[in-house]
A = this chain, B = another copy of it.
Amino acid sequence: EDQDLLLAAAYVSDAQYNRNVPFETSPQAIRLYYFYNHWAMQAATYFFICVDLSLALFEEPALFPLPFLVTSIAEVLCLTAFFGRLVHFAKVTPQMVFWKDTKNICIMVTIVLTLVDLIVYGILEALNVYGIRWSRALRPVFLINFPESRQIRRAFRSIRNTLPDVLYVFLLFIFSVGTFSLMALKLFGDRGLKTVEGSPYFTNILDIAFELYVLVTTANSPDVMMPAYEFNWWYSLYFITYIIINTYIFMSVFLAVVYNNYRKHLKNEIRTLAYLKRRKMIEAFNILKVKVGTESVVKEAQWRRLVKVVAPDISSSHLELLLRILDEGQKGHVDKVNFLRLPDLLNIQVITINVKRHPLEAWMPRVYQSSASLLVQKVVRHRVFVWAYDVIILINAIFIALDEKNPFISYAEWLFLSLYIIEILLKLYTYEPRAYFGRKQFWNWFDTLIIIAALVATVANTTIQSARKYNSQQILDIVLILRILRLLRVIVSIQRFRVIVTTLINIGPTMLTFGGLVLVVYYVFAIIGMEAFHGRVHFFGPNSTSPDALTCGNSALRDSAFARGKYCRNNFNHLGSSLILLVELTVVNQWHILADGFALVTHQVAKLYFIGFHIVVVILIVNIFIAFILEAFFVAY
């Protein structure tokens, strides 16, 4: 009996959280499955994934160097944890299912490959031979393939499904770029034109194709056109045609194709999820059902026990509410149709609002209801009160912009803070405090936290300035940012701003999935980039007077746009700077200068790395991001 309840509860739980893991139904397997889904086990898995990924910070080329022995022991530890998790999963799921699931195979293969790589690299290291830790690029496999990362996997699936359609557009696009390159070679190749830097203009078909690919990203506009345009205005038409076709039309078509597939795919996924959820609930129902007359139902007592297993923290009033919804006729049982609605109802957050009197009113009714007190409450509730404080915030902004060394202004700081605190107190006086700080009162929390942060920041600032000894730059900077963030209070008081920000906050969780996706791609590219380019470009510090500082320590960069732009810190010398560099490449602007720089210090083939990054990140992932924001806004706005 208890065993049945646990099994049914597991099905309901899976339905509620959209988990989709087939598990064995033996009592032991069910208990193991509960343990598998325990938050502590999941947290531990994520912890080891984080440790494994962050090892790149400590391995050569390292931001914080650690000996190979230490990082390899940490890695083996992580691998053991992953293996343990997998063994646990194998005990839960039927063997047939386990071995058919590519996710599990992926994890096992990656563990083996990583061990092989570790051993080979260790031996080479001992023999003082140069080796490549290639298995590091496989680490994101763990992040993707554990069942917990359903969302990231879905995003990757979405990209994979887009590929065939994107491929044809991409081929046509490449064909177009190729045709234009040939045209450019014939039109400009023999004219003896020079670029701004004095090198020959459009004489080599490969260089032309690269330049024209860069023009699609707009990064070398209008420079790439200027020599031809100076020679004859007529040639500007060539470039304008190129930009209209390849930059505007093709890039929009990429967005359209990605977006179209994303929508189609999303619809299918939602349909499948709904189907699986229903099937699990039917299984749970079949376990618990009893016959009443001709109808199969779940008895009220059994249903209560089930819900208490599924949601141990549920309040009794919430439980009664659910029962009242699912057993409308109060027949003492829940029928099949209503039983299937349970997971959706459990996912709805219920807010218990108790309209209570203000504590002050209960405590001293006379004073709180006096005409003076009522006037105060009326003023606070009036919209002019809000506007007055908006004006105060704007004046505050001006004061922040002014020089803070002026003592008058630093006194004003305290004045503003007092005004804000008075505002909060007045609001707490007028509104019932427990309602004001209710669970869903996001904006009240936001407002109050900003003021508290500003208060803490100002106090910290004064303390630090009077102490004078302790002067950590980062603490000071954080304090400064906190003080300025108080301007965000303006958002709270303008209804339309709140709508926009609420929409953005609501898509936050999915945005995190997106962050995971980007992290995976960035990590792989960063590892490859570090293996290929580390140590080629050096940054000598901001005040270095070394002559090598002007060429980033590499004479191949002499007279290059890379060195002229002082881009030396944009290098692959450790994970941190690699990731920042990849962000810059995602923003696209000047990416060709960066690509050129790394091609100069290695080989022209290096440009393929940068083109590949552009295709994967900008054409695929950024477009999925835009598709995703568009879709979220259409639903929400």
Write the residues of chain A forming the contact surface with B, with a CB cutoff of 8 angstroms: 168-169, 171-172, 175, 178-179, 182-183, 185-187, 196, 205, 218-223, 225-227, 229-234, 236, 240, 243, 247-249, 252-253, 255-257, 259-260, 397, 400-401, 473-474, 477, 480-481, 484-485, 487-488, 490-491, 496-497, 500-501, 504, 539, 541-542, 564-567, 569-570, 576-577, 580, 583-584, 587-590, 622, 625-626, 629-630, 633-634, 637
Q: Which residue of B lies closest to A172 (CB)?
A: B497
Q: Knowing A172-B497, A229-B580, A626-B252 touch, does A633 contact B260 (C-beta < 8 A)? A: yes
Do A590 and B221 form a contact, CB below 8 Å, given A169-B500, A249-B629? yes
Q: A400-B182, A577-B233 are in contact. Are A587 and B500 (CB under 8 A)?
A: no
The residues of B that contact A175 with a CB separation of less than 8 Å are 487, 490-491, 497
- A218 proximity list for chain B (CB < 8 A): 587-589
Q: A183-B484, A589-B219 are in contact. Are A252 and B570 (CB under 8 A)?
A: no
How close is A256's CB to chain B, nearest CB, in angstroms?
4
Q: Is the CB of A576 within 8 A of B480?
A: no
Chain B: CB-nearest residue to A587 = B221
Question: Bound complex: CA of A488 vs CA of B240, how far in Å?
Answer: 19
User: 12 A–B contact pairs at CB < 8 A?
Assistant: A179-B484, A179-B485, A182-B484, A221-B588, A221-B589, A226-B570, A227-B542, A230-B542, A236-B580, A240-B580, A253-B500, A253-B504
**A240 cross-chain contacts in B, Cβ below 8 A:** 580, 583
How near does chain B come to A164, taking the closest CB pair, in angstroms? 10
Q: Are B256 and A226 in contact, CB atoms less than 8 angstroms apart?
A: no
B226 touches A569 (CB 8 A): yes
The answer to whether B259 touches A630, judged by C-beta atoms less than 8 angstroms apart, is: yes
Q: Which A-B residue pairs are the 8 nearest by beta carbons?
A: A256-B633, A252-B629, A168-B496, A221-B589, A230-B542, A218-B589, A222-B584, A221-B587
How many angstroms between the C-alpha atoms of A570 and B227 in the bound complex?
12
Residue of B whose beta carbon sits closest to that of A219? B589
Q: Are B397 and A233 in contact (CB under 8 A)?
A: no
Residues of B within 8 A of A223 (CB): 565, 590
The docked-state distance in angstroms from the alpha carbon of A497 to that of B165 is 11
* Interface of chain A: mostly helix, strand, loop or mixed: helix
Given the complex of chains A and B, what is the CA–CA distance between A625 and B251 in angstroms? 12
Q: Bound complex: CA of A539 vs CA of B185, how far in Å?
A: 26
Contact: B587 with A247, CB < 8 Å? yes
In the bound complex, what is the Cα–Cα distance between A171 and B401 (angstroms)? Answer: 20
Assess the B566–A233 pair: CB atoms within 8 A: no
Residue pair B569, A474 in contact (C-beta under 8 Å): no
Beta-carbon contact of A249 and B626 below 8 Å: no
Apart from A179-B488, A186-B480, A240-B580, 11 more pairs, CB < 8 Å: A175-B487, A175-B491, A182-B400, A186-B400, A218-B588, A223-B565, A226-B570, A231-B542, A232-B473, A249-B504, A260-B633
Contact A633 B221 (CB under 8 A): no
**In the complex, how many angstroms separate the beta carbon of A239 from the nearest chain B beta carbon?**
9
Cβ contact within 8 Å between B243 and A205: no
Q: Looking at the complex, which one of B172, B186, B222, B637 makes contact with A589 (CB distance below 8 Å)?
A: B222
Alpha-carbon gap, A497 to B175, bound state (A)? 10
Q: Say how far A305's CB is from chain B's closest CB, in angstroms.
A: 46
In whole Å, how far is A483's beta carbon from the nearest beta carbon of chain B?
8
For A240, the closest partner residue in chain B by CB is B583
Distance (Å) between the CB of A583 and the closest chain B CB?
Answer: 5
A257 CA / B630 CA spacing, docked (Å): 8
Identify A484's interface contact among B186, B570, B577, CB under 8 A: B186
Nearest B residue to A481, CB-CB: B183
Other-chain residue from B501, B504, B584, B634 in contact with A221 (beta carbon distance below 8 A): B584
* A541→B229 CA distance, assembly (Å): 10
> In the complex, what's the smallest C-beta–C-beta distance from A528 to chain B, in angstroms?
21
Q: How far is the CA of A577 from the CA of B232 in the complex (A)?
A: 12
A243→B473 CA distance, assembly (Å): 23
Least Cβ–Cβ distance between A217 and chain B, in angstroms: 9
Residues of B near A565 (CB, < 8 A) are: 196, 223, 226
Give the residues in chain B near A183, CB-CB below 8 Å. 480-481, 484
- Centre residue among A171, A175, A256, A504 by max chain B CB count within 10 A: A256
Knowing A168-B500, A172-B500, the reply to whether A226 touches B474 (Cβ < 8 A) is no
Contacting residues, chain B, for A570 (C-beta < 8 A) = 222, 226
Cβ–Cβ contact B580 & A477, under 8 A: no
In the bound complex, CA of A209 to CA of B584 (Å): 20
Chain B residues with CB under 8 Å of A473's CB are 232
Across the interface, which residues of B come within 8 angstroms of A629, CB to CB?
A: 249, 252-253, 255-256
Q: How far is the CB of A322 from chain B (nearest CB, A)?
A: 36
